[in-house]
Structure formats: C-alpha cells, structure tokens
Structure 1
C-alpha cells in the first residue's frame, strides 16, 4: 500500500508543471481520500497485524499529518476501554460500539444512577475516572446522551423524563469538565423517552432504554 501511495505522489509531482492550476486542489483531494481510506481500513483491522501495517503505511506516507496521531489515539482508546470493561467484569453494564465515525460507550442507567436520580453512583466512578484519563490528552469531541423509558416521572427534582435524561447527561459532562477536559470538547443531550433503542413493551426492554451513551467523535478536532 505504501508503494501505491508513493507512486501516486511521484506521478503528481512529475505532472505538476504540465497540469492546469485547477488540478492542484483536485490532486490534493484525491490524496486525502486515499489517506482516509487507509485510516478506515486500518481501524477495521484494529488489533491485527494488518492494522499495524496499514497504520505504518499511513505514517510513512505523511508522518507530519496530525490525523496519524489522532487515529492512533482513537484506536488505543477503543482497545483500552474494551480491555478495561472485560477486566473489571462490566460487560453486563457497559457496551462498546466502534464505527469509522465514532467510538460509543453505552451504559445502562442502573449502573450510573439510582432510580429517579441524576447523581452518579460512587461505585462506578472508577470507570469514569479511567475513561477521563484516556480522553484528556485527545482532541476529539465528546457527547453524552441521556435516555429513559416511557414511564412518566414526577418527583421533587424532575417533572419529566426529558429533564431527568438531560440532568444525567450533564452529570457525566460535568464529571469530565471537573477533571480537566476542555468545555469546548463537551456536549450534553437529553432525549427523554423519545429515542428508544428497544420497544417499551417489557420491563427488560424498558431497562435497556434507560441508558447513557458517551460518544467520542472520530476524526473531529475541537
């Protein structure tokens, strides 16, 4: 793959003098697309020998490209969080979903909060502290989303599921903020019961809908 990119770059340099000016941004665009293809390909092979080779190809082709560093950080984050979840027997509470566009950490609400509360439980803080340590040196945007089931709530603190889900999302965001992550990178959303992942027909499905999703946006700097 490295040789292909080198030939592509060499060809553009040789043809530069004979090329119309409008071809310059076109060539740059094509090179960028090739690099992005390698990034997505490498991420799909994360943890394999092929991944290491693809990442080396990208770094050798464009060693000063900040996307190389960012890509390494994103893949390291995904691998680290996956290993941490498994090591601490959290697979029944936390799921990791990886796509070319994001790294999403789904946490069932019972793991983070007591019923009707937006205060993070002390016994799960160790996970958020670990995640914060991984996110802090990165530049990616971090989005916290709060979701509930469709059972109405009305207590002394919250008049609706929308308010509860928003408060829970902000609790997670404030944790990151208070532990050194720049506010420019942080976003909170509360969706109440309006974006269910499952039907609300059974208690099992309602429990799955009560969740917090922490999304690390891949390839997006602050």
Structure 2
C-alpha cells in the first residue's frame, strides 16, 4: 500500500508540471498586449508619413518662404552667406551679400500692376462683345505691346468713308463706356487694304486711314474721354494682318485698332518698363 500510495503521490505531484502555467495562457487570451512585430510596423508607418509630409512641404515652398528661411538660417548660423536655391548641395556659394538692385524689384512690381490692368481691359471688352453680340466685328487680344481692340471698318464706316455711320456711333458709344473706366493713354490706328481709292479726289489710303482714326478720336472726345489721353495715326495698307490678294484678307485688313500700350500705362503709374 505504501508503494502504491507513494507512487500515486508522485504521479499527482508530477502531473501539474506537464502543463504550462495557467497564468501565461490566461494573459494571452485576455488581452496581454499586441504582438511584438506591431511596434516595428508602427514605427515604419510613422516614418513613411513623416517622409511624405516632408516631400509635400518641400514641393509647395514659395520664393518668399524660401527667402524667409534663408534669413532665418543666416541669423541662426551667424553667417552672411547660405546656399541659394538651385545650388548643388551647397557647393556653390554667393561671392558676397545680396547685390540685387532695388530698381529690379520695383520694375517687377510695376510689371505685375501693368499686367493686371491689361487683363482687366481685355476682360471688360470681352464682356462688351458677348453682351452686345459683336463677335466677328469687334475683338480684343493681349499682345506684347498691350491690349488691342480691333473693330472691322464695315461696322463703323461706309465703303471709302471716314465719317462714322449710325450703327458705328452705337458701337463706339459702347466701346467708349469701357474706355472711360481706364484712364490711360490710348492710340487709335486706322488701316486699309491695298486697293487704290476709287474716288474723284486725290485721297489715298494714307489719308483715308488717318481720317478714320481722327474721326474715332473726335467721337471718343465727345463721349467724355480726355483728349490728352488720345492719339490718332494712320498706316494705310502697310501693316496688314491678312493677305491683300483675297476679298476675305482685304476685309480683315480694313480695320481700326484702339491700343492700350504697356509703356504708357507704366508711365501713368509713375514708373518705366525696361
């Protein structure tokens, strides 16, 4: 009996050792924490997010922001020279302090103001054309010289005539309303086709183009436009925009142009473009 009891006791004492501790299994099943690999994965995701945020910040940096950053670096490092934008890893440095002429900044600012006025003029004329259904008869475009309003001669003049027609006066009244909003010098240019004048007098295309431009100027003055802001000139058929060998081309060449020149606008603003 003793052997049997002793053997039984030994088996009872050894049996619990065959199973893992209940506490270990219980912790895993009841929320003992995330697996160890989750820490590494979380760090990786965080680093990727920081990397893309940095790329986004670098891609949207503006010139003014860069200048502010340069000034901050100068103050922090106690130096007067830092790599400029576009240098390769700071290997190329400025030879000295900033030597930018203040006049260059003034010219850039003036150019921006003039460009804004150009866009305003073009926008207002396009609205005039759209609301009055003048497409194909009046057009406006922005060129290197300025904003050019082009009016076909058949809209405002009779054939070979330099006096505004009744329909022409109506159209010019609407154009004058737009011009009155911008107090800048305006150049009115007359143009003809290459065909000789079929009239009894000795007028040539020079006289016709000049008289048409003068007629438009006089009408604009009657509408309240300052005479000091107006200039008339005629070019006859020597500045064509189409082929004078076809009826369609000649129709395009017979025109009156009203131009707001960039240089004149800049002078009116008290500056000079160069």
What TM-score do the two structures reach when normalised by structure 2?
A: 0.57
Counterpart selection for 1:116 from 144, 156, 160: 160
Distance 2:158 2:146 in 1: 28
Distance 2:202 2:221 in 1: 23
CA contact (8 A) 1:116 1:164 kept: yes
Q: Which 5+ residue runs of structure 2 have no aligned equivalent?
A: 1-61, 76-96, 269-274
Q: Which 5+ residue runs of structure 1 have no aligned equivalent?
A: 15-22, 40-67
Partner of 2:101, secondary structure, is helix
Matched, 1:210 2:269: no
CA contact (8 A) 2:147 2:259 kept: yes
Counterpart selection for 2:131 from 87, 92, 116: 87
What TM-score do the two structures reach when normalised by structure 1?
A: 0.70
Between 195-204 and 95-104, report the one with greater CA deviation. 95-104
How much is the aligned-residue C-alpha RMSD, in angstroms? 3.0
Report which structure shows greater RCO (CA 8 Å, sep ≥6). 1
Matched, 1:35 2:109: yes
Distance 1:71 1:196 in 2: 27
Which protein has the bigger strand share? 1
Structure 2 vs 1, CA of residues 221 and 136 (structure 1 numbering), >3 Å: closer, same or farther?
A: farther
- The match for 1:175 is 219
State the number of aligned residues.
Answer: 182
CA contact (8 A) 1:148 1:165 kept: yes
Tell me the CA shift for residue 157 of structure 1.
5.7
Structure 2 vs 1, CA of residues 34 and 149 (structure 1 numbering), >3 Å: closer, same or farther?
A: closer
Tell me the CA shift for residue 26 of structure 1.
5.6
The structure having more radius of gyration, on CA atoms, is 2
Distance 2:240 2:107 in 1: 35
Partner of 2:185, secondary structure, is strand
Distance 1:175 1:73 in 2: 24
CA contact (8 A) 1:149 1:210 kept: yes
